[in-house]
């Protein structure tokens, strides 16, 4: 089945979504002009696609969830089907772990590597190529010194999203993932570079 790609603008933010049937295969956002190239770059290379100006109810639901996450009002992509099966098994492990980081907290690249395998740098590479940013919150992964770290949309954008996600937590928390501990830290502890 062909992929449907669509853009919409809400409160001066452009959101892009690509769906194959009801599964989300790519997302993007922009505070400037819509960046169709960024969305298309994230699509599976061997599947056809078309761009529409008339979003169906599934696209509208994903747009709503992206807006909620961008504005710090939602924990995760509850109820949405996200397809990352075309990615390597390692990338899937990293992104599945990242998807469990709750709003109001961050994890470190090394912490995610401890749970998923590999090293911090390899986790950073996977996060940088995340095909569904916001839905899988790669913005919630930071450096080991709790400095902001990189982000494909820029460090300032990452910082602003995290500031909207502050929930007033004051203590770290530990998540049990695949029998391993992932320590998550309050967003308020993150340092801007």
Residues, the chain: 193
Q: Which of 6, 28, 97, 138 is catalytic?
A: 138
Residue 179, C-beta contacts closer than 8 angstroms, at least 6 positions apart: none
Active site residue 6: no
How far apart CA 49 and CA 69 sit, in angstroms, is 26
How far apart CA 66 and CA 163 sit, in angstroms, is 16
Record the tokens describing residue 46, joined without a space: 């061997």
Catalogue the active-site residues.
Answer: 138
């Amino acid at each position: 089945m062909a992929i449907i790609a669509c853009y919409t603008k809400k409160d001066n933010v452009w959101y892009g979504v690509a769906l194959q049937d009801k599964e989300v295969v790519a997302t993007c956002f922009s505070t400037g002009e819509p960046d169709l190239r960024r969305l298309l770059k994230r699509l599976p290379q061997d599947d056809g696609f078309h761009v529409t100006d008339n979003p169906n109810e599934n696209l509208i639901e994903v747009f709503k969830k992206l807006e909620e996450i961008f504005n710090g009002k939602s924990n995760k992509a509850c109820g949405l089907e996200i397809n990352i099966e075309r990615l390597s098994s390692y990338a899937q492990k990293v992104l599945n772990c990242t998807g469990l980081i709750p709003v109001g907290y961050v994890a470190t690249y090394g912490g995610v590597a401890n749970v998923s395998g590999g090293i911090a740098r390899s986790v950073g590479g996977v996060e940088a190529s995340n095909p569904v940013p916001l839905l899988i919150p790669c913005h919630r992964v930071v450096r080991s010194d709790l400095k902001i770290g990189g982000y494909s949309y820029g460090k300032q954008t990452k910082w602003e999203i995290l500031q909207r996600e502050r929930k007033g937590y004051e203590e770290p928390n530990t998540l049990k993932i695949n029998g391993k501990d992932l320590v998550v830290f309050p967003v308020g502890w993150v340092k801007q570079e």
